[in-house]
Amino acid sequence: DTEVTQTPKHLVMGMTNKKSLKCEQHMGHRAMYWYKQKAKKPPELMFVYSYEKLSINESVPSRFSPECPNSSLLNLHLHALQPEDSALYLCASSQSGGLGDTQYFGPGTRLTVL
């Protein structure tokens, strides 16, 4: 099973709302990633968790708050977002985050900020 699941598939939120995106994998992977993808653009890395510890934060604004409660689960908490944050948010996982590891992507959550 090489599946990464993401919920919800679609999310519409106002600028004052608080919401969370959820990502789950059961492949025993120890590295998990959040990417942001704007329309017709490549994915851009936001965060990397390795063995449940945040190892990379690509200078993401604090209105995005990642959380890794356990090795199978990755959350992205959203608060006071801006309309320009509307995008497809992709989660991925890989075995250990080492060089050459294949990253397996989920289907994404399409976020619209009004």
Query: Which spans of this chain sit near other proteins (rule: CB under 8 A)?
Result: 4, 31, 40-43, 45, 48, 50, 55-56, 90, 92, 97-100, 102-108, 110
If DSSP codes are grouped into helix, strand and coil, which group holds residue 49?
strand
82 or 102, CB closer to other proteins? 102
17 or 86, CB closer to other proteins? 86
CA distances from 52 to 1, 67, 77 (A): 21, 9, 16
Amino acid at 1: D
Please state the closest distance from residue 60 (CB atom) to other proteins, in A. 14
